Amino acid sequence: MLSTTSEYALRMMVLLTQAEGKPQTCAELSEAGGIPQQYGWKVLGILRRAGMVQGQRGRYGGFVLQCDPSTTSMLDVVNVIAPLQRMEDCPLCRETDSSRFCALHAEMDKAMGATVFALGQRSLSELVAHRYSDHS
């Protein structure tokens, strides 16, 4: 449901949260996150332009969080990369229909709403502090 780029951004943001302010290179983040390094540069560039990370050059350089991990949600990260869109209209409904969506698109919008809600409920700090054992 999430784009690969969003998934990689979430991995990098969690790794940077775990680093607790110690600069991490793109190579370190990519290796730890199982992300191709060229793709890692792309993701870090997007996150930097959005003000979520800061890059530092030099011998002790790397990337650090620029946002507050206790208030930055998974949804905040995803929305920087590829904002999740709720449905606005139904391509199957006719103008004479009384409901906004047909049954198919009502269920799809409901699922997207649940995803948006769930991603908005967990901060980066919470993700680092907890290990979730089930995938439900």
Helices (H), 50-102: 74-81
* Local structure of 21: helix, strand or coil: coil
Domain assignment of residue 97, yes or no: yes
pLDDT (tens digit, 9 = 90+) per residue, 37-58?
A: 999 999 999 999 999 999 988 8
Domain assignment of residue 135, yes or no: no
φ, ψ for residue 62, nearest 5 deg:
150, -160
pTM: 0.85
Listed in sequence order, the residues at least 6 apart from 28 whose beta carbon sits closer than 8 Å to its beta carbon are 62
> Into how many domains does the chain fold?
1
User: Burial, 95: exposed, middle or buried (Cβ in 10 Å; 0-12, 13-18, 19+)?
Assistant: exposed
CA atoms within 13 A on the CB side of 16: 32
- Identify the domain containing residue 19 by its residue range: 4-129
pLDDT (tens digit, 9 = 90+) per residue, 3-30?
A: 999 999 999 999 999 999 999 999 999 9
